[in-house]
Each structure stands twice: as C-alpha cells, then as structure tokens.
Structure 1
Amino acid sequence: AAPEPLPNIDPLTLVRQFLEATANPDGEYAAARAFLTPDANKNWDTKNPTIIETGFSTVPTSASAQDKTQTVLLQGKNVGRLGSDNAFTSL
C-alpha cells in the first residue's frame, strides 16, 4: 500500500512529489499511482517508462481563480528509455 499524497498540497509540490515517487518501481509504481486519478492510473503504461535526466525543473504557470486550477510545466531532457527487460536504450 502506497501512502496517499498530502491533502491540500500546493500544485508545484504535488508535481514534484509525484516525480519523486516515479523513481520507485515497487508494486508497479504504487507510490506514483497514488497521485493519479482512477482513469489516469488505468491508462498509465509503466512497461517502457521514459527516462528524464536528473536536472529536470518544474515551473508553475499562472493560476486560474475561476476554476481553481494551476498548470505546472515540467521541463527536462529525454535521454532514453528502459525496455521490458530493464535495459537502457539511449535516444
């Protein structure tokens, strides 16, 4: 069982904690899946995850008070993929 994300967490911290959780493949990424909606969880393909270099950044964009949403832009460099045998293939 993976811990649930903290309630009322700000969007930027939520995205950063999700990204940290994606580094743990235990339970088919159960820690990261705890952050997803049921539909996103069902559709998330973890068989060939993309590798993002360690120097990624999260950038908050303007928030919308009208619908209470905020977008967080994730920037990173895609350097390769892991195959089904967990072998790394560079791009």
Structure 2
Amino acid sequence: MSEPLTGPVAAEITRRLTETLHPAHLVVRDDSEQHRGHAGHDPRGESHFTVEIVSAAFEGENRVARQRAVNRALAPLLKDRVHALAIKAMAPSEL
C-alpha cells in the first residue's frame, strides 16, 4: 500500500504542481517502500511517487503533453531526488 503524503519531497511535489498547474484535484503518493531493494531505491526514502492530477491546464492536451507539463514543473526534483514518477493527468471534463 502506498504511504500518504508525509515527507518533504512529497510536500515539494505538491507545492510545485499546485503553483504551476493549479489543480482541481491532486494526490501525491509515496510508493518508495514498494521498491526497497530495487534499482533506484534511495535509503532516504521518497524516491518513487505516483501523482494523480486534474487540471484545466490539461484541456485539449494529449497524454504526452500533460506528462511533459508535470515533468517540467518537477524537473529539479526529477534530476536530483526522484527516481520514478507515475503520472495520471486528466482535464476536469474527463471526470
């Protein structure tokens, strides 16, 4: 089971996505424990995440464009801290 939002990296993901994409809905799950002992696991934790985000910014955008928008918002974290990020990005009209 994924851990709820608790750590500083998860909080920073939430802050960056909120400021950049103004989501109507945002869930950030830390999946790091599921990857203990696998490549990319960071003993500090907070290395693998799932993001579920609903934003008007995604209206008319395809899946790749939506993922790129999320990746741009999180670029510094993806470069230095986050090993894996699963993204489920939707527009409000898709709910």
Task: Note whether the superposition's TM-score is higher than 0.5.
Answer: no
Task: Answer 1 or 2: which has greater helix percent.
Answer: 2
Q: Higher Cα Rg: structure 1 or 2?
A: 1
TM-score for the superposition, normalised by structure 1: 0.26
Higher relative contact order, chain-length normalized (CA < 8 Å, sep 6+): 2
TM-score for the superposition, normalised by structure 2: 0.25
Task: Answer 1 or 2: which has greater strand percent.
Answer: 1
